[in-house]
Amino acid sequence: MLKVRDILKATNGKLINGKDEITITSYKIDSREVNSGDFFIPLPGERTDGHKYLDMVIDNGCIGFFVSKEKIDNLDIKCFLKRNKDLIIIEVEDTLKALHMIGEYNRNIHIDIPIVAVTGSVGKTSTREIISSVLYQEKKVITTEKNMNSNIGLSLMTLKLKDQDVGIFEAGIDFVGEMDILTNILKPEVAVITNIGTSHIGKFGSRDIIYQEKTKIANGLINKKILLLNKDDSYLREYKNREVNIQYFSIDDAKNIKINNDYIEFDTYIYNKLEHLKINDIGEHNVLNSLIAIKIGQIYNISSEDIIKGIDRYRNFSRRMEKIKIKDFTIIDDTYNASPSSTESGLKTLSELNYKRKIAVLADILELGDYSKEIHQDLGECFKDLNIDILIAYGDAMKYLVDNAKKYISNVFYFKNENEVIEKIESIIQKDDIIYFKGSNAMNVNKIIEHLKEDFMN
């Protein structure tokens, strides 16, 4: 935890009011979440600016806040102090950069805490969580909360470093250059790259650029300098870097994979001994995530028994391949987000399950830019190798997937919006069916699920 004087040193800030020996214990960037004792960081945004809500956070009991140099002349500081004479007000050049600076400063204070950073186009969250579950069996672990994986979120997470044994942090990027910021703040000693896919390709322009940006995570490695790469990925298996210790993981490291309706079993070597493991989740991608966790468990000397226990105790988040029983049929809610590779993986999982009929409900995958048509067409081709009975799709881009999927699956229905999809599902659903839902958040696929819950569970 940082004192005000530490914050001033880290940011080269100017103390407008307050005492420099005060310790800050909690930081918030959302004015609606500020409670008594929180330090507020007003960030500029596309639609608004956090400086507009300083009155609100004072009312909510904040201990203080940053103000940017360019905004301070427009603020009524005297009025603020009449409401709370002890407010800590720190003037900084740029509030976002100040957040990065204090996050990095606290990381440097706790540089003895090893950090494992997880990045990749898909699978970051589930991978970080299963790693955390393994390490948690023997160590005090701090891990990324919710989706706090950006330059903002990770800065807030490093401010929570204090007495943990290890940190497992997810690193996500939305623009070219963001990974440079993240690695400078995190300074991990182990980094994992799950894959190089086409998620957000509309923002980056090509997989080549995504590859270049993701692999920059190696630039910040310290101490052990271990980089774990997916050998099954065509980009990552070609990566070369003499400055780091590159190790690989592959689905081929798992033997006798058995996918059941509610769990997965497989065998693999831990400390050179063949072990049997169980994952209480569905989806073959969880086998790969487990293999990563096993490697990291061995790096940090977790016993075989506790590695196996950690994988068995792993539980995924809601809306990530979440199975929901509704009356006489089952839903798989995989609507937290969508990418081409995660959609294909989810469909493959559906295909391997044992149910009376398997139904896929798909909506557009967004943020693909000029690649959208081609990617949706390619996804339609994957139905060639899948055992799925019915496909229901909606959205402008889904028509390209549907055109190809029709060659391999006879029961295909295409609609323009989710209301038509609901009507179709309700007209065809039968006992012992399973329905898989996938699509980008903006496509409101989760609203279809909520509607079905209300109709069939009441």
Contact, 416 vs 394, CB < 8 A? yes
Tell me what the mean pLDDT of segment 311-331 comes to. Answer: 90
Higher pLDDT, 434 or 320: 434
In percent, how much of the chain has pLDDT > 70?
Answer: 100
CA 10 from centre of chain: 28
Domains 2-97 and 110-313 share a fold: no
pTM, entire model: 0.92
pLDDT value for 337:
85
Class of domain 2-97: alpha beta
Tell me what the mean pLDDT of segment 341-368 comes to. Answer: 95
Residue 361's pLDDT band (boundaries 50, 70, 90)? very high
Tell me what the mean pLDDT of segment 106-110 comes to. Answer: 98
Q: Which two tokens stand for residue 108?
A: 């440097």
Domain ranges of the chain: 2-97, 110-313, 322-457
| Residue 67 reports pLDDT greater than 90 | yes
Q: What does the pLDDT look like over 276-300, one tens digit per residue?
A: 999 999 888 999 999 999 999 999 9
pLDDT value for 416:
86
pLDDT value for 458:
59
| Residue 392 reports pLDDT greater than 70 | yes
Indicate the fold that domain 322-457 takes in CATH.
Protein-Tyrosine Phosphatase; Chain A (3.90.190)
Pick the CATH number of 110-313 from 3.40.50.410, 3.10.20.30, 3.40.50.9100, 3.40.1190.10: 3.40.1190.10
Give the per-residue SS3 of 271-339.
CCEEEEEEECCCCCHHHHHHHHHHHHHHHCCCCHHHHHHHHHHCCCCCCCCEEEEECCEEEEECCCCCC
Contact, 344 vs 313, CB < 8 A? no
| Residue 389 reports pLDDT greater than 90 | yes
What is the residue-averaged pLDDT of the chain? 95
Q: Are strands 166-170 and 190-193 parallel, antiparallel or unpaired?
A: unpaired
Tell me what the mean pLDDT of segment 218-229 comes to. Answer: 98
Which of 181, 231, 233, 242 is closest to 207 using CA atoms? 233
Tell me what the mean pLDDT of segment 340-356 comes to. Answer: 94
Residue 146's pLDDT band (boundaries 50, 70, 90)? confident
Residue 317's pLDDT band (boundaries 50, 70, 90)? confident
Contact, 228 vs 296, CB < 8 A? yes
Tell me what the mean pLDDT of segment 208-224 comes to. Answer: 97
What distance in Å separates the CA atoms of residue 374 and residue 392, rounded to the nearest whole number?
20
